[in-house]
Structure 1
Amino acid sequence: MPTLSTPIRQHTYSPPTEQPAANALYQNLLQQPQEHLASARQFLQAQLRQASLQPCDLPDAPHQLNEWIRAGSVRTTCAYRDYLNARKQGQPRRFFTNRAHALYFLRSVAPTKMVDGAWLYGVLSQWQDWRFHTLVRTYLEELGDGESLQNHVVLYKQLLNTHELDNAGALSAGHYVQGAQQLALAYLANEFLPELIGYNLGYEQLPLHLLITTYELNELGVDPYYFQLHVTIDNADTGHAQKAAQAVLDNLPISGDADVFYQRVKRGYMLNELGISSMDAIEGFDLEAEVHRVLEQKALVARNMHSDFCRIEGRTVNEWLSQPGRTGDFLAALEKRGWIHRDTDPTESRFWQLIQGNRAPMFGVFSAYELQLLHDWIAGEWSAPHSQRQPRRYVASKMAAEPVDPDNFDADQAALEQQLRKLPACDLTEELIKLMSPSSHFTPAGLLATRLFARVMGQPGTGH
């Protein structure tokens, strides 16, 4: 079977005691990958053993993959048509109960989205081998061919920043499983090439949840462009889904055991079923619990910061905050005393007036995401009377306009490009590949390297 000459997605996650948790491995592989290859290998082997226990829906033979993709695409589009018809008949949103729910989802899947396409990094060194052409091109397209407004990680970073979700609280290790798998495959591509190809095959199929997510984010006024982009490029005709099937066929062994290769492809494909999936993130939202989590987190730093002038149900605010686990009781006391009026316009609640607005006494204490949580919790049923059900349409765009770069930024870019162009051809591609790693491809240097690499391949970067 083909190998590389140079190595360069539901369930509760419980890592074996002998290997690091997925969140720790995720960070290690982003920061110092070469020092953690042994842990990555151990993790990936354990994940593949678990994946082998999952039922697999791939066809029996590789030559049936294109028909399998087309059939899957038909099922997805028909299911989406049924969803749209149901919505037209007055059915509520299927995924997101409110805007806070949508933001919770964006936060929950961030570890995966922040390494989007990472599993393909390990094949860059083989860009001259025709068998890896579709995989290399897919990676470049994940990187937007070096254009910041098309780079998937840049787009997701902008989305997180817009809603102040970049520091929205700790996530469980299970949220990092998919990202850790992608990074492990990236740096162990030489050892797990069939599994990498299989993982790519599974990840690049167009799922129904992606279509519904795009539609409902748009309804709720959350820019859906990142998700819309994946709807178009993962199509079953000329998109990543078709390219993924072609990569399987291109790399089937001629003289080796093709059956063994394909079984390994299947195991890699099933890695998509591990960890916390997008549907798990959607279904795991509990507004009440999330509000309590946020307030408990705030209490850790807000204790003893309030005056004792105001008492609520016989206790000062400091006394309420000093007792962990009393958030529910505190909120109930605020309701009883009339500080919070549930199922009404939040602006009518004294508590909301304290935290929202430029002149609010607690302005800046809560992030945009946290304010949305509190708003939707207070509003409750008020947010959905018939007169308020018209969606706030967000016209999909390419996020924010690209910022104007200061002179010193342009100078740094020009200096880097001049430095790179002085390198011999072999050294140039090696340096470009380093800059295109999962931890740096979204930086100015990484974006420049991607554009130059695309030109080296003879395909100038043009985005999507």
Structure 2
Amino acid sequence: MTALTRLESPPAHERAILTAGSIKPIYEQLLLSNDIEHQRALGKTFLEAQLAHAKDLPEDMPHDLSALPTFVEHHCAEVARQYADYLQQRKDGGPRQFFTNKAHALFFLQAVAPTKLVDGAWLYGLLRHWHDPRFEGLICTYLQELGDGNPAQNHVVIYRKLLAEHGLLDNAFIPDQRYLQGAVQLALGYCSDDFLPEVIGYNLGYEQLPLHLLISAYELSELGIDPYYFTLHVTIDNASTGHAQKAVQSVLQLLPVEADREDFLRRVALGYRLNDLGQGSRAIIESFDLYGELLNMLERKRPFGQHMHSDYCRFEGKTVNQWLSTPEQLPGFLIAMENKGWIKRHQDPQASRFWQLIDGDGAAMFGVFSPYEKQLLHDWIAGDWRPARAPAAVRRGSSAATEQPVPVNDPDVQSLHATLKGLAADEQMQVLIPWLSAHRHAHPAGLMATRRFIELKSGFR
């Protein structure tokens, strides 16, 4: 019996969180807590509940292990075929299939952030098996998710920069259910001793190249948004030499020799189905409602702005402060600004006086709206209007992947160096592994720890 199976059930308040169905607090505790026993107990209870849900989902993974490589290859070939069809449709003049405008794309990037910001976390618990060659493919996959310690290729660093560039770091309004997949990944990472087959199965499912990744990258680039995070996954998740191929190998290498193979494979298949829980990328994309998002954003701003405007400007007899006094009046306020000509729908937003108030260094309301909030306003005003020239497509060049140095003057880096000094290699590994967790690996000391982990691991070959 492992230490994990001896753990007591989570405290009453944690069970209440699970019962209430509030996933964000679970996600945050799994990500941010410094109490490993707490994380394992909470993760175990959470995973048991999610696996019970997964049992009701359709099973796609083949039962015959010999068919697994072919299954993955056929999936990759089918995605390639569907993407070729998509490209032909676009070449023939067809519209974007995912993102109606830039605000739609930014909405998607923020909505999937809870998952993207813990990328690879389901494999974290396997690092302690670094001596065992059977785990080589899975550990290699995890280290590549961490960019091998290079911030320019660390997936979390890349995505965090993408969010920051577009004013999307505020996660206070992301619906609770969108934390589900991130919480599953974190829980698997902390409970891999109890759920090794499920980790292997989840990895097999997650590392298959999805069509939405290819289309997202294409359309993000078209809208002037850096697609590098997505194009990076297109290359490393391939079925020939990438993570998808390593995932297949790991199933075969970690299959028990004499223990109950049938039960092991049943659990692998169940872990595979965990990928289908929650709202997927396509469903999130299809849920976007520009006008609804605009009203939600204005309602969040309303309490701060309802006393900040002078009374000299009136719309249909009401001051701005009066219009902002209750959320029910926001739709009428937008109509009133249209009626007065301050907003000119379906035209270049630059022609609208309201847009001129919020855009530009000298604008009276400069800085009031974040880049994403401005994009919502811009795209709602523009409506059916299209600029004469489309935004320049963004293609991230090879220079972006140049290795970047880790700052040596960072206090955590200095502290870690001091801790490692004089320790034997095995002892260093025990110190380094916590720094490769989902919460730490994107920080300077985590990046340094990743490099040192790889260096020591290579030295033992």
TM-score, normalized by length of structure 2? Answer: 0.92
CA distance in 2, matches of 1:380, 1:145: 44
Structure 1 residue 405: Cα displacement: 7.5
Cα distance in 1, alignment partners of residues 133 and 409 from structure 2: 40
Q: How many residues align?
A: 448
Matched residue SS, 1:395 = coil
Give the one of 247, 256, 261 matched to 2:259. 256
Q: Is the 8 A contact 1:218 1:396 kept in 2?
A: no
Output one character per residue of 1:83-134: Cα deviation in whole Å (capped at 9) or x when no partner.
0011000000110101111111100000000000000000000111111111
Q: Give runs of aligned pairs for residues 97-108 of structure 1, distance below 5 A.
A: 97-108=100-111
How far apart, CA to CA, are the structure 1 residues paired with 2:319 and 2:401?
44
Q: Establish whether residue 24 from structure 1 lines up as the match of residue 9 from structure 2.
A: no
Q: 1:239 aligns with which of 229, 242, 254?
A: 242
Cα distance between partner residues in 1 of 2:134 and 2:402 = 37
CA contact (8 A) 1:164 1:369 kept: yes
Partner deviation per Cα, 1:62-91 (whole Å, 9 max, x = no partner): 221111010001100000000001100000
Matches within 5 A, 1:102-181: 102-167=105-170, 169-181=172-184
* Structure 2 counterparts to residues 429-448 of structure 1, below 5 A: 429-448=429-448
Q: Report if aligned partners of 1:343, 1:378 keep a CA contact under 8 Å in 2.
A: yes
Deviation at 1:401, TM superposition (A): 8.1
Q: Which residue of 1 aligns with 2:426?
A: 426
Return the alpha-carbon distance in structure 2 between the equivalents of residues 26 and 458 of structure 1.
33
Do residues 453 (structure 1) and 453 (structure 2) align? yes
Query: Taking structure 1 as reference, are residues 452 and 368 closer, same or farther at Cα in structure 2, changes over 3 Å only?
Result: same
Once the 2 structures are TM-superposed, how far is the Cα of residue 417 of structure 1 from its aligned partner?
2.9
SS at match of 2:346: coil
- Structure 1 distance, partners of 2:438, 2:294, is 33
Question: Structure 2 matches for 1:16-415, cutoff 5 A?
Answer: 18=19, 21-32=22-33, 34=36, 35-167=38-170, 169-383=172-386, 387-388=388-389, 390-397=390-397, 408-409=409-410, 413=413
| Secondary structure, counterpart of 2:409 in structure 1 | helix
Between the aligned partners of 2:40 and 2:202, the Cα distance in structure 1 is 19
Aligned residues with identical type, % of pairs: 50
* Deviation for aligned residue 1:447: 0.2
**In structure 2, distance between residues paired with 1:130 and 1:271:** 26
Alignment gaps of 5+ in structure 1: 8-14
Shift of 1:168: 5.6
Which structure is higher in RCO with an 8 Å CA cutoff and minimum separation 6?
A: 1
Q: Distance in 2 between matches of 1:234 and 1:437?
A: 21
Do the aligned partners of 1:376 and 1:383 also contact (CA within 8 Å) in 2? Answer: no
CA distance in 2, matches of 1:399, 1:320: 47
Cα deviation, 1:215-266, whole Å, max 9, x if unaligned, reads 1111111000010000000000000001011111111111111111111011
Structure 2 match to 1:11: none
Q: C-alpha displacement at 1:320, in angstroms?
A: 1.0
Contact 1:103/1:369 (8 A) holds in 2: yes
Query: Matches of 1:19 and 1:128 in 2, distance apart?
Result: 41
Runs of 4+ in 1 over 6 A off after TM superposition: 3-7, 400-407
Q: Please give the alpha-carbon distance, in whole angstroms, between the structure 2 residues aligned to 1:402 and 1:454.
A: 15
**Structure 1 position 395, deviation (Å):** 2.1
Give 1:12's aligned residue.
Answer: none
Instruction: Give the 3 Å change call, closer, same or farther, for CA 340–286 of structure 1 in structure 2.
Output: same
SS in 2 for 1:97: coil
Q: Judging changes above 3 Å, is the alpha-carbon distance between structure 1 residues 404 and 344 closer, same or farther for their aligned structure 2 residues? A: farther
How many angstroms apart in 1 are the aligned matches of 2:110 and 2:208? 23
Distance 1:185 1:31 in 2: 15
8 Å Cα contact 2:17/2:26 also seen in 1: no
Distance 2:347 2:173 in 1: 31
Q: Structure 1's 406 and 252: CA in aligned 2 closer, same or farther, altered over 3 A? A: closer
* Aligned counterparts of 2:31 and 2:352: Cα–Cα separation in 1: 45
Question: CA–CA distance in 2 between the matches of 1:100 and 1:303?
Answer: 25
Cα separation, 2, equivalents of 1:427 and 1:218: 45
CA distance in 1, matches of 2:133, 2:230: 30
